[in-house]
Amino acid sequence: MTIEDAMVLAAGLGTRLRPITDTMPKPLVPIAGKAMIDYGLDALAEAGVKRAVVNVHHFADQMTAHLANRTEPQIILSDETDGLMNSGGGLAKGLKLLGRDPVLVMNADLFWIGETPGRPSNLTRLAETFDPASMDMLMLCVTLEETTGHNGKKDFSMDAAGRLKRYKDGDGTPYVYAGAIAMMPALLDDAPDDAFNLNIYFDRAIEKGRLYGITLDGHWITVGTPDAIGAAEAVIGAFREAAA
């Protein structure tokens, strides 16, 4: 299917990235000359997304000013300046600003590089593979070997059909959640109005056998601390040099 709506989770405080985030929001921290959030928004636009809700809290004025410069996708702000809603609460609130069609969900501070030229992008594959009849969520996942800046945590294991469950030692290849999901907004119709963690819905989907994953094409980057910026930029530089 084609997915034209998205939600980008961007309201966090970025406390581990202090002192940088004492003066700016984490999604606007530049990595190799580009704000982190723009890696994701550019990927969404490339995949055909027309509208993206972005939630804002920390230095919301800076986020608003930066996002005003974008034309693709169209940006719709979800204001959390009165209080953070956590990942699940923020998503549930933001989805109310969109329709009932399928949606792509992304974290603003996680991104990837090095997709194979000539092949469908990761987000295009998410949209094309998502089947709401059999899936509550389809999640983009990455192997530990294709990560930079990750803390080593093993999130999921994946069976031959792509079905996910929480990783336990001995489960085979471990996967990391890469910060992108395809889902139907109706999944969160029963969500509470206050803050909650989206992991609740991950576990519900696992219990029903309806959490699925596909493997990321390329290399995944997370920047959690100031020291991680150099590592991220080195990897990006190496990929750019190899592609030149």
pLDDT, average across residues 69-76: 93
Question: Domain total for the chain?
Answer: 1
Residues spanned by the domain of 18 = 5-243
The pLDDT value recorded for residue 199 is 93
* For helices 36-46 and 122-129, angle between their N-to-C axes, nearest 10 degrees: 50
Whether the per-residue pLDDT at 15 is higher than 90: the answer is no
Q: In the chain, pLDDT over 90 holds for what percent of residues?
A: 80
Which residues touch 107 (CB under 8 Å, ≥6 apart)?
8, 9, 40, 179, 180
Structure tokens at 200: 């609740």
Q: What is the pLDDT of residues 57-72, one digit of tens each?
A: 989 999 999 999 999 9
CATH number at residue 36: 3.90.550.10
DSSP code at position 156: E
Q: What is the pLDDT of residues 82-104, one digit of tens each?
A: 888 899 999 999 999 999 999 99
Q: On the CB side of 13, how many CA atoms lie within 13 Å of its CA?
A: 9
Strand (E) positions, 108-243? 110-113, 137-143, 147-148, 156-158, 164-166, 175-183, 211-215, 219-222
CA distance 148 to 227: 12
CA 9 to chain centre: 7
The pLDDT value recorded for residue 130 is 97
CA distance 173 to 81: 40
Report whether 95 contacts 187 (CB < 8 A): no
Residue 135, CA distances (Å) to 183, 185, 219 in order: 8, 13, 25
